[in-house]
Amino acid sequence: MALLVSLVIATLVGGLATPRKHIAGRSIALRAAPEKVWALIRTVKEYPNWREEIMRVEEMAGNDPRPAWTEIGRQKSLSYIAVADDPPHRFTARILDDDLGYSGEWQYVVTPSADGTRLTITEHGEVGNLMFRFISAHLIGHTRTIDAFLRDVALELGELAKPEPANA
């Protein structure tokens, strides 16, 4: 029992020592044309067809003219709203749910390159829950979900591209 209590206390102290806000960025070099990459990432209703963790997407209606949707996954559901949409270069989606213990947004940037396209995702996140903050920063890593998304993009495009640091 003392070991368990010690682990919980260490995790809480580690969470206090970990910044509440973070920025994490990853990118991937693709051979596909920028327009093709843009269409893939921007057509959220098609995510279940190529994103491994997404079972379905429900578009949300409301008074806000910006697109909003809920991604229903195997383990959780998340709702988003598009807060910036600059086709075909930049798209930013913000988490709408306020009961998760974390919040933030993803900025997708599609940049033409000599060989095709570079897709960069930058997460601007905030983790309030101390235990989850420590676990996400030190055990899981802030880029795990970004890497999974980028790998799914590459696979859908028939490529074996590998995510790398955003500044590469």
The pLDDT of residue 167 is 76
Answer yes or no: is pLDDT of 111 > 90.
yes
Cα distances from 140 to residues 14, 26, 56, in angstroms, run 14, 15, 25
- Percent of the chain topping pLDDT 70: 91
Q: Which domains does the chain have, with CATH numbers?
A: 2-165 (3.30.530.20)
Mean pLDDT of all residues belonging to the chain: 89
Extended beta strands in 1-128, E state = 21-30, 54-59, 68-73, 77-86, 90-95, 102-113, 116-127
Q: Are 59 and 43 in contact (CB under 8 A)?
A: no
Q: b/e for 77-96, b at 16 or more Cβ within 10 A?
A: eebbbbeeeeebeebbbbbe
Answer yes or no: is pLDDT of 157 > 60.
yes
Q: Could you tell me the pTM of the whole model?
A: 0.87
Q: Are 86 and 110 in contact (CB under 8 A)?
A: no
> Cβ atoms within 10 A of the Cβ of 153, count?
24
Pairing of strands 68-73, 54-59: antiparallel
Residue-wise pLDDT tens digits, 5-61: 677 676 666 656 668 788 999 999 999 999 999 999 999 999 999 998 999 999 998
